[in-house]
Amino acid sequence: MAAVPKSRKSHREVRLRRTQWRAQMMPAAVCPQCHEFRLPHRVCPSCGYYNGMVVVQTEKK
């Protein structure tokens, strides 16, 4: 089965869908370790935790 769209989406629809995709990707995740906002599926920039363990050693002052 080929993934061929039945009707081609207009430029407006494509643009609208992509803005929604952006908006859905953006909601911030909260780090379970330090409860700071971080990007989802990214290592926390403030404590270096990801998936329950330290992935990146962050500087401690």
**Which residues form the interface with Zn ion (CB under 5 A)?**
31, 33-34, 44, 46-47, 49
Nearer to Zn ion, 2 or 49 (CB): 49
Strands 49-50 and 53-54: antiparallel
Nearer to Zn ion, 19 or 46 (CB): 46
Nearer to Zn ion, 10 or 51 (CB): 51
Q: Which helix (H) or strand (E) holds 53?
A: strand 53-54
Could you tell me the smallest distance in angstroms from the CB atom of residue 59 to Zn ion?
Answer: 14
Sequence-ordered list of residues with C-beta below 8 angstroms from that of 28, at least 6 positions apart, any chain:
37, 38, 39, 40
